[in-house]
Amino acid sequence: MAVARLGRTELDVFPICLGGNVFGWTADEQRSQGVLDAYVAAGGNFIDTANSYLREHGESETILGRWMAERGNRERIVLATKVGGGNGELRNLRAATIEREAHASLARLQTDRIDLYYAHFDDERTPLGETVRAFDALVREGVVRHIAASNYTPQRLAAALQLQRELGLAQFMVLQPHYNLMAREFEHTLLPIAEEWDLAVLPYFALAKGFLTGKYRPGGPEIDSPRAEGARAYLARGGLAVLEALDEVATAHGTTLAAVALAWLLARPSVVAPIASARSVEQLEQILPAATLRLTPAELERLTASTPAP
């Protein structure tokens, strides 16, 4: 099984993290379990979800929890979930919310610990000290092994990390940013922070809402997907040139565009495991080859040069 060490943690993870955002949304429970079974059968062990997936009721966590209980495979899974996303009362990082939602996630996931627990979105209305102390308390309690951050500005992320260090608290070990061939702002905003603090990077929207699979081409068939409109918007941002480069490299390797797009991310600085979701086994089969695909320096440069400037 292809594995990679998750930054400064002791966790060894499959280099493609399976996104659980579709579970209970575009994939019902039966289909979700089929995707999960196929992912594990291929050597996968790293699954990402959140308390706010979806509709504010944690359906994704519930589906994942039942699957692990039925398969008896919790010990083989590296499990990541989040707090602070969604809307209404869930979207904050107050100490009471973090403590309450962590235990609610544990119940839905039918487990006694979370391997990687994210601050899903920054909360500027809550003092950083309150937030980082609440995460540290969960680590000390033993219900969270490591903590992570997503959707922070560089300034706020650096401030949180510095405060964690000064107070001797558990530190963010992982950063989950929006990053893909069509969205490279991360490279000059958050990457310097990740490199300075030795954070493992797990990009979300790694396939640009499905655009980098090639299914949203000009003149192509209409795709019935909630993400279709957003994905097609990339065509107006130089997306056709990126698809052409992906076509060339994928043809050379006899693989899929999705696998090439993920392999490009895996070759970028600090990236350990891009996050990609699949609502069917067929979609999963398009992304799995990325785990072992190695692109040449010339291919990487071809892809990098085709993308919109960061």
What secondary structure, in 3-state letters, does 244-268 show? Answer: HHHHHHHHHHCCCHHHHHHHHHHCC
Q: What is the pLDDT of residue 55?
A: 62
Domains in the chain, ordered, with CATH? 4-306 (3.20.20.100)
Which of helix, strand or coil describes residue 132? helix
- Are 170 and 139 spatial neighbours (Cβ–Cβ below 8 Å)? yes
Q: What is the pLDDT of residue 233?
A: 85
Q: What is the pLDDT of residue 134?
A: 98
Q: What is the pLDDT of residue 223?
A: 57
CA distance 9 to 51: 23
CA dihedral 235, 209, 264, 146 (to 10 degrees): 150
CA distance 3 to 9: 14
Query: Among 258, 233, 251, which Cα is nearest to 299's?
Result: 251
Q: Which residues are catalytic?
A: 53
CA dihedral 284, 77, 135, 90 (to 10 degrees): 50
Measure the CA angle with vertex 35, ends 30 and 36; round to 5°: 95
Per-residue pLDDT of the chain (310 residues; tens, 9 = 90+): 688 999 999 999 999 999 999 999 999 999 999 999 999 999 999 999 999 997 656 799 999 999 999 999 999 999 999 999 988 888 999 999 999 999 999 999 999 999 999 999 999 999 999 999 999 999 999 999 999 999 999 999 999 999 999 999 999 999 999 999 999 999 999 999 999 999 999 999 999 999 999 998 877 655 556 666 777 789 988 999 999 999 999 999 999 999 999 999 999 999 999 999 999 999 999 999 999 999 999 999 999 999 976 6
